[in-house]
Chain A
Amino acid sequence: MSPTILVVDDEPPIRKLLRMGLATQGYAIVEAPNAAAALEALGRGPVDLILLDLGLPDMGGHDLLRAIRASHPDLPVVVLSSRDDEGGKVEALDLGADDYVTKPFGMAELLARLRAAMRHQLAARGERPVFRVDGLSVDLVRRIVKRDDAEVKLTPREYDFLRVLVLHAGKVLTHAQLMHSVPASSDPQYLRVYIRQLRQKLETDPERPRILLTETGVGYRLRAPDDEPTLRPRPVNGARPHTTETTN
């Protein structure tokens, strides 16, 4: 049975776009133009993911999010935010949203985020003991981390951070969520440093990371296996793809 996605957005053109795009992936769509309709739709039938626009007319997106989380603590929610609303994004994520997409967005990026958000559900239906992406493999059961088949030694704290990111692979985690998940780290400064340490040990080019990605102003994201490395359309017309040279 294909997953059902509840689209909550007050602008008809956006809803239409989402309906068409999501339908190509085989999702079933339920639309709600405002918060009241969204809550009503939630009550009516099973929903596997909510795509929520933060700028709703009748109730603030955050209030609706609280309401959803109150009744459905595990339901994946991806919020749609506008560019200037940094604070709103972070607040939504801290309130329990799983990920965010900034308008205007590309469809590929949106689909990747939806997949990542639902992975938790999907993973429950099948065992995936070893996480692999782009040369990195993480065995959560045996606590072994390998980079290109060579084992990498991580400190306990570093491993804890990596584990949280792997469990939420493909989804963004805010600074607050990361700090919260790894106990006994009090200073936000340390987060940055741990991420840098991880990049040093796990990335081919620590300065241009491809696995442990920064979400500016929000937090960090571990790339999921089926995500594009850069999540944007490829250039056409024979333009050369960018190359990175490091001079040291």
Chain B
Amino acid sequence: MPEAGRDPNRPSPDALLEAARREERTRGRLKVFLGAAPGVGKTYEMLTIGRARLKAGTDVVVGVVETHGRAETEALLDGFETIPRRTVPYHGTLLQEMDLDALLARRPALALVDELAHTNAPGSRHPKRYQDVEELLDAGIDVLTTLNIQHVESLNDVVASITRIRVRETVPDGVLDRADDIEVVDLNPDDLIQRLKDGKVYVPTNAERALKHYFSRGNLTALRELALRRTADRVDDELLGHMRANAIAGPWAAGERVLVCVNEDQSASGLVRYAKRLADRLHAPWTALVIEGARAASLREAERDRIAEALRLADRLGGDAVTLPGGRRIADDVLDYARSANVNHIIVGKASRSWLFALVNGSVVHDLVRLSGNISVHVVRGEAVPDERQPRRAVPVAAPRSGLDVRPYGIAMAAIAAGLGAAILAQPYAGVENADLFLLTAVVAVAVRWGLGPALAAVVAASLAYNFFFLPPVYTLTIADPTNVAAFLLFTLVAVLVSNLASRARRVAVVSQGRARATERLFGFSRKLAACGTLDDVLWATCAQVAAMLKVRVVLLLPDGQAVTVRAGYPPEDMLDEADLAAAQWAFDNDRPAGRGADTLPGAKRLFLPMRTGRGTIGVIGLDADGTGPILTPEGRRLLDALADMGALAIERVRLVEDLDRAERAAETDRLRQALLTSISHDLRTPLASVLGAASTLRDLDSALDGTAKADLLSTIIEESERLNRFIVNLLDMTRLEAGAVAPNLSAQDAGEIVDTALRRTQAVLAGHRVAVDVAPDLPALALDPVLFEQVLVNLLDNAAKYAPAGSTVTVRALHAGAALRITVLDEGDGLPEGDVERVFDKFYRVRKSDRVRAGTGLGLAIARGFVEAMGGTVTAGNRPDRPGAVFTVTLPVPAGTAPKEIAA
């Protein structure tokens, strides 16, 4: 979809990404053979192409091909490896289904799968064959498949209106859009009819009469055009994508926007589909709008469900779904929104109401057309969808609270009585003529507070009272004066009108309040979800919100591999019993409700509903309430859908973030491992090379070498071997640290003593430097591991020797400072670059130096820190304050109460 204002001459990032993704892919390629009607030869074409690929050497396997007994198709099957079908018993008969697992195990390069829209027998892994194909594609297997145009979801009703046959098996548009190739298998309608006559077309035995109409020339032409146009649209899209990816300026529509008005009419879903087709053709974004006006409160449940279903369909097909409260006329509200959203096409359904209805409530279509200004209004006869085509509503919902609530009527009577009393009392002052105003006030009050029913009852009571108490002859129900009759009638009329108006105002207010409350709570939930960082937070928040808003007990299950397990609950719940778990698993696998009150496994304690996002079912939510009967009201069911959708999205988001983190960590681990291998390889080979070189020189060139040279080479061998030994020590220490196998053997030690032994060990390394030792006398004893601590000091001294120039001084100081013992190693090198002061302790980190530095593993400081921290101390690095050079400080805590011990002689 184009965004207004973007520079059309820059390649669109989305298009580039899409193009790039198409280049490198591990997913299989899907090619769909699309036909207008059965019998055009899709299967034949698929097999022909498959055979060509087989001949070319590709590993082609037939997953499932329906030949319907046609000999020529059967002949084409010859020579293909076919996966035998799975037999599924169902209601006494045996059904043959494609064996998905066998096909996946076989893992061919290309699989032929016929009839993409086929519904699998119950008990199969997926309810629909296109889901099987998705799984094959995910496994990297290319697929050829066939499809009739009437199976495409967004065209379903168009086809139905053409052919009078509604096909129940649909394939979502997304599947077709994601296909890599669509080939239209086209056949001239006349030729097709001839084929039908020749008996070459498969005809289900009990549908002949219907099909005769199906195969009329007009129908076939229309279907053919549909198929061709759909493919043309797709080619158009591909062309656009190509143009955008290469920044070719094109005549794309700038800034078009489509709006479809959805109401409770049966054609709502059809209108939504029409809107999608129009929006696709215009390459425009689109929105489905519902106005909740005064009539919203009086809608029946089926009607409310229709609206909700239409909105969800809009969401699924890629549009926005918006619900607004009604204020004035519906047409005004729609146009307000349209103008604010820069809509330039409005789609509205042709009115199917009676003229009386239009008289009373106004005609939205009429108003829209009149007031739309320069917005195009498309008045469309949407295809009415009978209500039974709603399989997900398989769960019976609680009947709405009905029955007469007697209390308001009683109060209405009381109000009238009060008004009457007031009128009678005021009679001396206000006069008879104004008595009706008191009664009218009472009627208005009742209407505003309790609605139309009690208000009308109040009107009747008020009229009778007015007649009885005020119109002469008083205390009878007759009226003597004709003008009083008029007054009486007028009063009644006015009262009815006023109560009507007042109760309508009240209804609108109630609906608005309800909508505002619900929106507020959903918004609050949405904010809470956005703030959740971890999966557990999201699950907990979702459970709590659903439980609070719907007054039920909630459990949430997420898949762990293939099986779902309980992850959260409100009130907290860990275990489900067998029946519940089975129901939850079934609901997850089949994407349908299961459990209490549903069609499947009704014996479970809870009702389980799948939670879906665009990527599929991600979990199951289970509800439980006290009492028998259905758990949710229809309103509650709709609210649950909204909450579950939000929860599912949040879960998906958290998962994606976790995946991202994991990928980053894996990349980091890989990087470290790589660095380690490189480092080891280099640092071990270098000294070995020197040793080998020197030794072989000594052996092979012995006669050519004099005493000095030989002594020199021998020193090299010894020094480089010692260096190699140090490397190996470093690596082993690092390995121990990483494996957590460093268990310090603490005992009371004299730090100064260990300084001495460390200096002795590093004598060779520090041979070219001056060493200054400043160890305070009477240092307190510390709990140290002498071996580890000696290694720490050795590493620090080795480091100092590396980075300090020859002849400079390396200083070691140890002093007791309050509650800590501080040992510092100072050198006179260049010091540490600012900003690297902490990074020097990273593994494999080496400061960049211009001149050659004696190589090391880069692990010495990391090991020093690891060992010191294992003993409860800290190591820090910094630069000297007095002159250039680095200073490393080891700080160890001194346990209270230690002092050098005095000894008895």
Q: Residues of A with Cβ closer than 8 Å to B?
A: 83-84, 86, 104, 106, 155-157, 188-190, 192-194, 196-197, 207-209, 214, 216-217, 230, 232-233, 235-237, 239-248
**Other-chain contact of B781, A192, A245, A247 (Cβ < 8 Å):** A192
Instruction: Say if the beta carbon of B347 comes within 8 Å of chain A.
Output: no
Instruction: Say if the beta carbon of B324 comes within 8 Å of chain A.
Output: no
Instruction: Say if the beta carbon of B767 comes within 8 Å of chain A.
Output: yes
Instruction: Say if the beta carbon of B750 comes within 8 Å of chain A.
Output: yes
Instruction: Say if the beta carbon of B830 comes within 8 Å of chain A.
Output: no
Complex: A103 Cα to B752 Cα, angstroms: 26
Point out the residues of chain B lying under 8 angstroms from A237, CB to CB.
712, 715
Point out the residues of chain B lying under 8 angstroms from A230, CB to CB.
760, 763
Point out the residues of chain B lying under 8 angstroms from A242, CB to CB.
763, 766-767, 769-771
Does more than half of chain A's interface fall in helix, strand or loop, or is it mixed? loop
Complex: A13 Cα to B732 Cα, angstroms: 23
CB-based A-B contact count at 8 angstroms: 95
Q: Which of B7-15, B257-265, B838-846, B897-905 is found at the contact surface with chain A?
A: B897-905
Q: Which of B188-196, B333-341, B772-780 is found at the contact surface with chain A?
A: B772-780
Point out the residues of chain A lying under 8 angstroms from B745, CB to CB.
86, 217
Point out the residues of chain B lying under 8 angstroms from A236, CB to CB.
711-712, 715
Residue pair B767, A241 in contact (C-beta under 8 Å): yes
Instruction: Say if the beta carbon of B253 comes within 8 Å of chain A.
Output: no
Residue pair B764, A232 in contact (C-beta under 8 Å): yes
**Other-chain contact of B772, A188, A190, A241, A245 (Cβ < 8 Å):** A245
Residue pair A188, B729 in contact (C-beta under 8 Å): no
Point out the residues of chain B lying under 8 angstroms from A188, CB to CB.
747-748
The chain B residue with its CB closest to the CB of A199 is B753
Complex: A240 Cα to B768 Cα, angstroms: 6
The chain B residue with its CB closest to the CB of A217 is B787
**Other-chain contact of B903, A104, A197, A247 (Cβ < 8 Å):** A197
Residue pair B715, A214 in contact (C-beta under 8 Å): no
Instruction: Say if the beta carbon of B690 comes within 8 Å of chain A.
Output: no
**Contact flags (1/0) for B741-758 with A, using CB distance below 8 Å?**
000010111101111110
Known interface pairs A84-B732, A188-B747; A193-B759 also in contact (CB < 8 Å) = no
Residue pair A214, B756 in contact (C-beta under 8 Å): yes
Complex: A196 Cα to B786 Cα, angstroms: 16
The chain A residue with its CB closest to the CB of B787 is A217
Point out the residues of chain B lying under 8 angstroms from A239, CB to CB.
767-768
Complex: A186 Cα to B114 Cα, angstroms: 90
Known interface pairs A214-B757, A216-B786, A232-B764; A196-B750 also in contact (CB < 8 Å) = yes
Known interface pairs A104-B721, A189-B781, A237-B715; A207-B756 also in contact (CB < 8 Å) = yes
Complex: A237 Cα to B709 Cα, angstroms: 11
Interface centre among B756, B769, B905 (most CB of A within 10 A): B756
Point out the residues of chain B lying under 8 angstroms from A235, CB to CB.
715, 764, 767
Residue pair B748, A189 in contact (C-beta under 8 Å): yes
Interface size class of B (residues with CB under 8 A): 35 or more
Point out the residues of chain A lying under 8 angstroms from B669, CB to CB.
none
The smallest beta-carbon distance between B880 and chain A, in angstroms, is 16
**Other-chain contact of B774, A157, A209, A247 (Cβ < 8 Å):** A247
Point out the residues of chain A lying under 8 angstroms from B721, CB to CB.
104
The smallest beta-carbon distance between A63 and chain B, in angstroms, is 23
Point out the residues of chain B lying under 8 angstroms from A194, CB to CB.
903
Beyond the given A216-B790, A245-B772, A246-B772, please list 16 additional residue pairs across the A-B interface where CB-CB is below 8 A.
A84-B732, A104-B721, A155-B905, A156-B905, A188-B747, A197-B903, A207-B756, A208-B756, A216-B757, A216-B786, A235-B767, A236-B712, A240-B807, A242-B763, A245-B770, A245-B771
Residue pair A240, B905 in contact (C-beta under 8 Å): no
Residue pair B901, A193 in contact (C-beta under 8 Å): yes
Complex: A193 Cα to B769 Cα, angstroms: 32
Complex: A232 Cα to B715 Cα, angstroms: 12
Instruction: Say if the beta carbon of B48 comes within 8 Å of chain A.
Output: no
Residue pair B903, A157 in contact (C-beta under 8 Å): yes
Complex: A243 Cα to B807 Cα, angstroms: 11
Point out the residues of chain B lying under 8 angstroms from A84, CB to CB.
732
Point out the residues of chain B lying under 8 angstroms from A86, CB to CB.
745, 787
The smallest beta-carbon distance between A162 and chain B, in angstroms, is 15
Residue pair A244, B771 in contact (C-beta under 8 Å): yes
Known interface pairs A207-B756, A216-B754, A230-B763; A247-B901 also in contact (CB < 8 Å) = no
**Other-chain contact of B767, A83, A208, A216, A240 (Cβ < 8 Å):** A240
Complex: A241 Cα to B767 Cα, angstroms: 6
The smallest beta-carbon distance between A122 and chain B, in angstroms, is 27
**Contact flags (1/0) for B786-812 with A, using CB distance below 8 Å?**
110010000000000000000100000
| A-B CB contact pairs (8 Å), 21 listed | A83-B729, A104-B721, A157-B905, A188-B747, A189-B781, A190-B901, A196-B753, A207-B755, A207-B777, A208-B773, A216-B754, A216-B786, A216-B787, A217-B787, A230-B763, A235-B767, A240-B768, A242-B767, A243-B771, A245-B773, A246-B774
Point out the residues of chain A lying under 8 angstroms from B900, CB to CB.
193
Point out the residues of chain A lying under 8 angstroms from B773, CB to CB.
207-208, 244-246
Interface centre among B715, B718, B760 (most CB of A within 10 A): B760
The smallest beta-carbon distance between B548 and chain A, in angstroms, is 60
Residue pair A247, B772 in contact (C-beta under 8 Å): yes
The smallest beta-carbon distance between B712 and chain A, in angstroms, is 7
Point out the residues of chain A lying under 8 angstroms from B711, CB to CB.
236
Complex: A217 Cα to B749 Cα, angstroms: 10
Point out the residues of chain A lying under 8 angstroms from B757, CB to CB.
214, 216
Complex: A243 Cα to B759 Cα, angstroms: 12
Known interface pairs A190-B901, A236-B711; A209-B772 also in contact (CB < 8 Å) = no
The smallest beta-carbon distance between A134 and chain B, in angstroms, is 15
Instruction: Say if the beta carbon of B161 comes within 8 Å of chain A.
Output: no
Instruction: Say if the beta carbon of B725 comes within 8 Å of chain A.
Output: yes
Complex: A238 Cα to B718 Cα, angstroms: 17
Point out the residues of chain A lying under 8 angstroms from B767, CB to CB.
235, 239-242
The chain B residue with its CB closest to the CB of A206 is B777
Residue pair A207, B752 in contact (C-beta under 8 Å): yes
Complex: A150 Cα to B376 Cα, angstroms: 119
Point out the residues of chain B lying under 8 angstroms from A247, CB to CB.
772, 774
**Contact flags (1/0) for B847-883 with A, using CB distance below 8 Å?**
0000000000000000000000000000000000000
